[in-house]
Amino acid sequence: MKSLVTGGAGFIGSHLCEELIARGEEVFVVDDLSTGSLDNVRHLRNNKDFHLVVGSVLDDTVLTELTGEVDRIFHLAAAVGVKLIMDRPVDTIETNVLGTEKVLSLASKHGKKVLVASTSEVYGKHRDHTLSEIDNMVLGPTKKRRWAYACTKALDEFLAFAYHEEKGLPVVVVRFFNTIGPRQSGQYGMVVPKFVKSALLGDPITVFGDGTQSRSFTYVKDAVRAVLMLMEAPAAEGDVFNVGDGREITILELARRVRSLTSSQSEIVFVPYDRAYGKGFEDMERRAPDISKIRKLVGYGPSVGLDEVLGIIIRHMRDAGIGETSAHRAL
């Protein structure tokens, strides 16, 4: 089996490539390294079954050649993170929408099955219940840049289902909920690596808002397992699935948990959203998935708890030399 992973040098993409290689597959990756990193796949680059092309999913020549080479496509390439959409809205919108359209068009032309990575951001401002795949989107006004990322990913989903219904393209859509694990960068606003790094360095752990907003967090290896289970299930074609962990935690409690697990003396400080992202920024008060649909179809469920995942991340950062002095001082 040959697989193409767009965005394969990214956080989730690199873990997916790792698992595919472990299963004996040949893996082709296209990644422009705008948010991905060569470090994420350095351990794979000498493997004869791993092929990396540094390029963009917007490049017709690169994408056409790779699509013709493989049996299936995992489309993970995207401009990700709240910080990125606030800083570079044009690039984010173009990459997410035009890149997905190119992937789907070529996949349809060559008859390749596609998995499209979407996000829990598409649900918007729900607050009263866990989120199921049939819930409506509740987004803010178009003048608030915060919601552009959610809209681009929702449009990706519409495109995927349009290709499935009109052209018969076998496609599966997954909505990731706050996937975490080793190799994730805090550069684009991802909260867990930011908290862990700050705690290990003895720096203040910065919580945006009042910390009462809640999230659920999914171990990246569980997310990869779910993706592969869905890709291999014919009944998943033409449908969308939440990929996450239904257990949730407030951001303030997460900060306290990280501080405790690292034995850190870091102060927890609060920064208003307006100061972090600009006037009028809106956040989601709650975001946790209902995973009954994917559980029923393929038997997926999370394999580890949050504390265990945080421990894995902490060890990974310490092994990378982050915070050795401060960590030893705290102990």
Strand-pairing partners, residue 131, are 289
Q: If we measure between CA atoms, which residue out of 277, 275, 273, 265 comes closest to residue 203?
A: 265
Q: Establish if 109 belongs to a structural domain.
A: yes
Mean pLDDT of the chain: 92
Q: How far apart are the C-alpha atoms of 312 and 181, rounded to whole Å?
A: 7
Query: Region 264-272: what's the mean pLDDT?
Result: 95
Distance separating alpha carbons of residues 58 and 62, to the nearest angstrom: 9
Chain-centre distance of CA 3, in angstroms?
19
Statement: the pTM of the whole predicted model exceeds 0.85? yes
Same domain assignment for residues 158 and 203: no
The parent domain of residue 45 ranges over 2-180+218-243
- Report the CATH number at residue 87: 3.40.50.720
Whether 222 and 320 share a structural domain: no
Considering the domain architecture, whether residues 222 and 279 belong to the same structural domain is answered as no
Residue 330: the pLDDT is: 41
Residues 203 and 92 in one domain: no
Q: Give the chain's domain count.
A: 2
**Together in a domain, 97 and 62:** yes
d(CA 19, CA 232): 14
In a domain, 300, yes or no: no
Residues with catalytic roles: 149
Q: What is the pLDDT of residue 88?
A: 82
Mean pLDDT over residues 56-69, rounded? Answer: 93
Whether residues 228 and 317 share a domain: the answer is no
Which of 165, 178, 34, 28 has its CA nearest to residue 99? 34
3-state secondary structure 190-216: CHHHHHHHHHHHCCCEEEECCCCCEEE
What mean pLDDT do residues 17-40 have?
96
331 confidence band (pLDDT: 50, 70, 90): very low
Judge if 175 and 280 occupy the same domain: no
14 and 154, same domain (yes or no): yes
Q: Is residue 17 predicted with pLDDT exceeding 90?
A: yes
Residue 141 resides in a domain: yes
Cα distance between residue 222 and residue 302, in whole Å:
6
Q: What is the pLDDT of residue 277?
A: 66
N- to C-terminal Cα separation, the chain:
49
Asked if the model's pLDDT at residue 275 lies above 50, the reply is yes
- The CATH number for 197's domain is 3.90.25.10
Q: Which amino acid is at 317?
A: M
- Same domain for 110 and 134, yes or no, is yes
